[in-house]
Structure 1
């Protein structure tokens, strides 16, 4: 009940409106209003100042939320410690990340984890990186997947893999004939033979300027892959002409396969994405087209045995691209 009270109050605080919060919570406004009024009666103080719009917390409300968050953290820590004593026969684990990270890096590890620890309930939470970090700091997420970009000092980061980032060119474009010397066969990447292929080439990295006149599929610059593409444009002194903007890497990959433009894709996506079709792959600017991926958690948080065991399995499952 205490967690429900906190969730209801936080939702009202986020929405600055009881009616909007009720809609998000899928309950009626009168029921939510009555629930909050009951909590306020028990507290002996108003949580929200209803005389102003948008709705605001009172000083008592802010104190109440802070106290309830701390209590929720203690309750969760107790649950995790008891789960540890039970040798992972029961418990829960929540893992967050951008949809792209969750799709690319988690499935194999989760499949192995649930076989070894069937009593642990797993929740996967998708969201933007700022949202996921916020949820972790609010004790709503145990672990999250993050790239080596804009790391939060309040969290611990354990490296799970290092990966290259490939330029993807529509497979039927004529420029692939011109650049055949630098084109990387998909089977080389998927078999783990890329390092050998690179050593056999005198100059394995294509000049990104070759694509100066071609259309691109872009991601936002506040996304890591989008930022890498922007750095490539800046280094080679040109801006994309015609382009399409996409929200997800897998969307940009599909658009490249359709012939719409050039995009970027990571080594981890190719290794773990169960992809059936492939564009033409190239590597460029080795110091830009790479990144590390981490599993992370708040520094002050008790790291449960379930979390520790999952990290071990996750690292092992991604060993092929580390």
Structure 2
């Protein structure tokens, strides 16, 4: 049967071993690996603490020796506790092998974990696990993780004192970072907060978040939005030395000003409240800085700045022979000078 994304975190945290097994599949190998590890840890202990109750094989192993799967499922261990068998890189060609194993499975046999890449609705392996009355199939898509998944990840990392603002900040990062990067961030935060009784804060979350070349782009966009004309040239020189793409920089600035404009157009409250209602929401020091920018610019000037950036983007994508970085720098300076002084 199918296991929904909503029910998956609960089942993976507390597997029902009266089930024969689960197929986990999806295009994102990192997501598949993360779910597989969480399920394995729940069955035999963290990080495979009891390898004596665990048997790992690949799809290639089964193609050359199909009987190996059933042998591993039925094998009797020397130590008590739930046993598990993992088959990685499973394919449709192994559907009959898995079908025989599911038919022969009995209560007390090893739990089957199969992982695969993207499988279509016509996939024989997918149809087998979805149609089996005692097995499960979990499809992982590129959608950002839901609240239940993020809550499960936070709990798995050992974080307990996470108030709503910090949770919202982590949720926003969980929707933008890859599964591996988000897991590493949670591990880093858990280590940082070890033996710290104080609640996790938004500033701590943002301070521990991965720092990449995007930070330099953020500095440039902040200089434009804050009207800091001298800083625009310095930031542009730094990014030019890093080989930044002018169109990418323009898209980033356009996205920032579009967010400011949308929040300013919402009305009916403070800019901070409007930014909090955005999807994804804006939190912490970044929200405060953007709220100040909204107040300084006002809707009319933000609309003019957005129009100028869109025109520049069109020029960068055209067949013009004008130096792209110089064209963009002049546009950023013109936009920065639109912000009222004082």
Task: Place the TM-score, normalised by the shorter chain, in its bin.
Answer: under 0.3
**Larger CA Rg, structure 1 vs 2:** 2
User: Structure 2 length as normaliser, TM-score?
Assistant: 0.23
Larger strand proportion of the pair: 1
| Higher normalized contact order (CA 8 Å, seq sep 6+, divided by chain length) | 1
User: Structure 1 length as normaliser, TM-score?
Assistant: 0.24
